[in-house]
Amino acid sequence: MHTCSLERMKDKIGTFAKYGDAGHGGITRYSLSAEAHLARDEFSRRMRAIGAVVETDDMANVYATLPGSEPGLRRIAMASHVDSVKNGGNYDGILGVICAMETLEAVAAGGIAHRHPLTAMIWTNEEGSLYPPAMMSSGVITGKFDKKTVLASKSVLDPTKTFGEALAASPYLGDEKNRLSADAYAAMFELHIEQGPILEAAKKDVGVVTCVLGMVNYRIRTRGQADHAGTTPMSYRKDALFAAAQALMYLHEKLDELDPALVYTTGEIKCHPCVHTVIPDEVDFSLDARHEDPAVIARVVAIIEGMPKEFAGCATSYERAWARDTVYFDKRLVGFVKESADALGVSNRYINSGAGHDAQFVSYMMPTTMIFVPSKDGHSHCELEYTAPEQCAAGASVLLNAVLKADAALG
C-alpha cells in the first residue's frame, strides 16, 4: 500500500485557503472569479511541476494528466471543484482537488508504476453560487443541462452579467474535444467532505460512499382570503399562513412515522402579500424529501398527495417540482475504496450522500464513485468547515490506492 504525504497535504490546504480568504477563517471564491483563477493557476503550476499536461475544455474545466505506461488506455480521473459558496469553508470541493493533486504528486514522487493516464481535474461552477444552477459544467458535459441555457445564466449580484461572458473572459476556456467523456476516461473518483455529522459520530476517518440519495421536491400551496388585520374577527378569517403552518405540522407528523433515515425540509416559503396589516391570502412552501429507498419516497409522495384538501378554511394544493432517483455508484470502484481503506488501516464505514455532487452526473456516463472524509460537527457551506489534516491525508491515501486498484483492474 502507498501513502500520501501529510506535510504536502498541509501545505496545499494552507496555500489554497489564501485564494478568496474572507478574513475570518473561510473563503468566498465564486467560480471564474479572480480568486478562483488564482486557485486554478496554483493547481496548474504544481501539476506542470510534476510533469503533468494541463488541458481545458469549453466549460473551462481543467485537466492535469500524468501519462501511464500504456498510452492506448483511457484516463482515470479524480475531480472536484475549487469554487465555494459565499463565506464558505476551506474544504468543500477544494479538498477533493487537493487530494487529486496529492495522488499525482505521490505517484510522481514515488515513481509508482501505473498503466492508465491519471488525471486530476477541476470542475467549473459546482456551487452555482454566483451563476446558478449548481453542478453546472458536469450537467452540461453529461447532457443534463443545455449549454446555451447555462451560458445565459445571470449573476445573482449583477443581472447585467452572464456566466457565458465570464466563461469567454476566462484564460481557462478551452476546447470541447478535451471534455471528460466515456471514450477518453475509464472512471472518475471524487473525494469530498461529508458535510454531515455521521462519520465523526461513528469515529470513522473515511466514508465509503455507495449512492446519492433519491429525492422529491414539492411546492405546496394554501389559498385563503386577504382581509384587514385589525377589522376581521378571528372566526371570519381564512388565513393562508396559519393554514400552511397546520399543513406543515400535519406533514411532519405523518413523515415522522416513516423510516428514521428519511430527511425532509421546508426551506422556502412565500407569503402573499407579506404585509403586516394584511391577512395572508396565499402561501407557497417547498418540501424536499430524500431517502435511498424508492419505496420510502413513494410513501412520502402518497402522504403529500393525500393530505387534506383544506386546513383552517383554506384550500390546499400541491405540485411536484422535480425528483431524482437514487444514484448508485459503481460497485467495483466502491469495492476498491473499501479494500484500500481496510488495507491502510483507515477506519471506515459505508455511507450515502444526501447532497448532490458532480460525481452524481458523471455516474451516468462512466464508472464513478466518491470518498468522504469527516466534517467537524457536521458543518459545511460555512466558515466553520474543518477536517483534521490527518483525516485529509488518510482520505488522500485511500484515493491513491483505490485509483491504483482501478488502474490494475480496468481495461
Q: What is the binding site for Zn ion (CB under 5 A)?
A: 92-93
CB of 80 to Zn ion, least distance (A): 7
Nearer to Zn ion, 114 or 192 (CB): 192
User: Is 323:165 a contact under the CB 8 Å cutoff?
Assistant: no
Q: What is the DSSP letter of 71?
A: T
Cell reading at 226: 386577504
The CB-nearest residue to Zn ion is 93
Q: What is the nearest approach in angstroms of Zn ion to the Cβ of residue 121?
A: 14
38 burial level (CB within 10 Å; 0-12, 13-18, 19+)? middle
Q: How far is the CB of 160 from Zn ion (least distance, A)?
A: 28
Closer to Zn ion by Cβ: residue 194 or 284: 194
- Are 315 and 281 in contact by the 8 Å Cβ rule? The answer is no
Cα–Cα distances (Å) from 32 to 9, 63, 179, in that order, read: 24, 16, 18
Of the pair 122, 344, the CB lying nearest Zn ion is at 122
Instruction: Output the smallest distance, CB 360 to Zn ion, in A.
Output: 11
Q: d(Cα 237, Cα 233) in Å, to the nearest integer?
A: 7
Give me the least distance between CB of 320 and Zn ion, in Å please: 26
Identify which of residues 85 and 220 has a Cβ nearer to Zn ion in the complex.
85
Instruction: Provide the 8-state DSSP code for 22.
Output: -
All three cell numbers of 193: 467532505
Are 9 and 393 a contacting pair, CB within 8 Å?
A: yes
Closest to Zn ion by CB, 59 or 220: 59
E strand spans, 26-157: 53-56, 62-66, 75-81, 118-123
CB nearer Zn ion, residue 92 or residue 385: 92
